[in-house]
């Protein structure tokens, strides 16, 4: 029998909320973000990832966020009071390395022993049997990040193109297996915008996933020094906003990929809604907030707190909503239908 791993990584914002680290936060995480600890690097080699096998970035990084290791016992003790510290969920990010599943199972048992907060697990593809065990251990939602909008981009950033172990069909199969075990609405994937996809390709993937019962969480490529994509620019904010809005409308059943229109470069020029209706639907500002599992706000995962904010980690103020909606309408107006 394996022991609980001695160390676990904790995002710096989570560490501050849990009282493990003293730090002023301009936005507090509403989810406790944890990551498995391993001495070496991930055996995969995703081009955007500081944890990748050939990355020379600090192993304390995932995206632009610091994840220092802490003694697991200290973290578990702090998680006991998680709800009173405003936490709504625990998200365990899993690095791929030999024996990672055993570590994950032991960590999950230990976490379940100290808190009833819902748990999301973000994992590389695993088999049906392991998925069933995760469900039994009380995992509420599982995420298998496809990250890329098309098979071609997937190959280039996660698969053979970077000497990585993953395949597009393998990830799709893993997502289907996760659906069999966890059911529709309890499976998530991630999509990173800025890897060379068109807006049309991104929205098609989001719709396809949604049709299968899978929720897509949206990320902006964050070029980190030491990763293969260190010199790759982040996505243009206007393109991100259009995809973000399309995602919001799709997962709320308000429009569909097939009702939308795109220009010759694949940019969204019509969301399939009357302008007045679109403004109404965006008036809460929710479309511009972080997307993913319920209760997840990932503060400043893709951007500096000074902005521009790809994902708002909190509800928007009235003036921010007006600014974002006006900018969106201006952008579409220039390009097409409105």
Binding site for ligand SF4 (CB under 6 A): 42, 44, 46, 49, 51-52, 95-96, 124
Q: β-pairing, 7-10 with 31-36? A: antiparallel
At residue 32, the 3 state secondary structure works out as strand
Q: How far is the CB of 331 from ligand SF4 (least distance, A)?
A: 30
Provide, rounded to whole angstroms, the least separation between the CB of residue 114 and ligand SF4: 25
Residues 6+ positions from 172 with CB-CB distance below 8 Å: 146
Question: Least CB distance from residue 132 to ligand SF4, whole Å?
Answer: 22
**Of the two residues 124 and 194, which places its CB atom closer to ligand SF4 in the complex?**
124
User: What is the closest distance, in whole angstroms, from the C-beta atom of residue 46 to ligand SF4 in the complex?
Assistant: 3
Q: Closest separation between CB of residue 44 and ligand SF4, Å?
A: 4
Q: Choose between 49 and 76: whose C-beta lies nearer to ligand SF4.
A: 49
Q: Which 3 state secondary structure label does DSSP give 150?
A: coil
Q: Which is nearer to ligand SF4, 87 or 107 (CB)?
A: 107
**Nearer of residues 95 and 206 to ligand SF4, judged by Cβ:** 95
Say if residues 29 and 14 touch (Cβ distance below 8 Å).
yes
Q: Give, as one character, the DSSP assignment of residue 124.
A: S
Taking the least distance from each CB to ligand SF4, the nearer of 98 and 258 is: 98
C-alpha angle with apex 127: 172 to 219, nearest 5 degrees?
A: 45
331 neighbors 242 (Cβ within 8 angstroms): yes
Q: How far is the CB of 194 from ligand SF4 (least distance, A)?
A: 15
Give the residue among 10, 133, 25, 28 at the shortest CA–CA distance from 77: 10
Nearest to 188 by CA among 179, 201, 200: 179
Please state the closest distance from residue 62 (CB atom) to ligand SF4, in A: 7
Which is nearer to ligand SF4, 13 or 164 (by Cβ)? 164
Shorter beta-carbon distance to ligand SF4: residue 40 or 73: 40
**Residues in Cβ contact with 264 at an 8 Å cutoff, skipping those fewer than 6 apart:** none
| 3-class secondary-structure state, position 155 | helix
CA 69 – CA 59 distance, rounded (Å): 10
């Amino acid at each position: 029998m394996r022991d609980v791993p001695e160390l676990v990584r904790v995002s710096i914002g989570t560490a501050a909320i849990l009282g493990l680290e003293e730090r002023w936060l301009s936005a507090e995480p509403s989810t406790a973000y944890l990551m498995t600890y391993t001495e070496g690097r991930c055996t995969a080699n995703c081009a955007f990832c500081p944890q990748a096998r050939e990355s020379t970035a600090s192993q304390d990084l995932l995206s632009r966020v610091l994840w220092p290791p802490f003694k697991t016992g200290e973290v578990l003790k702090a998680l006991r009071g998680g709800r009173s510290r405003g936490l709504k969920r625990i998200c365990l990010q899993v690095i791929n390395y030999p024996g990672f599943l055993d570590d994950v199972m032991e960590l999950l048992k230990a976490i379940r022993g100290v808190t009833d907060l819902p748990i999301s697990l973000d994992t590389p593809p695993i088999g049906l049997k392991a998925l069933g065990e995760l469900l039994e251990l009380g995992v509420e939602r599982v995420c298998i990040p496809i990250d890329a909008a098309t098979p071609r981009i997937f190959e280039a950033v996660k698969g053979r193109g970077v000497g990585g172990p993953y395949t597009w069909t393998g990830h799709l199969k893993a997502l289907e297996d996760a659906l069999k075990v966890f059911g529709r609405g309890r499976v998530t994937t991630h999509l990173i915008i800025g890897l060379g996809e068109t807006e049309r390709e991104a929205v098609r993937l989001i719709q396809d996933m949604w049709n299968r019962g899978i929720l897509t969480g949206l990320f902006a490529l964050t070029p980190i020094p030491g990763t293969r994509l260190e010199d790759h620019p982040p996505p243009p904010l206007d393109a991100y906003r259009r995809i973000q809005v399309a995602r919001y409308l799709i997962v709320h059943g308000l429009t569909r990929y097939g009702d939308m229109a795109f220009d010759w470069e694949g940019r969204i020029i019509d969301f399939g809604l009357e302008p007045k209706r679109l403004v109404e639907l965006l008036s809460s500002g929710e479309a511009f907030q972080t997307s993913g599992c319920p209760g997840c706000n990932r503060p400043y995962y893709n951007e500096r707190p000074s902005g521009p904010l790809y994902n708002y980690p909190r509800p928007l103020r009235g003036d921010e909503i007006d600014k974002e909606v006006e900018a969106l309408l201006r952008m579409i107006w220039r390009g097409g239908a409105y």
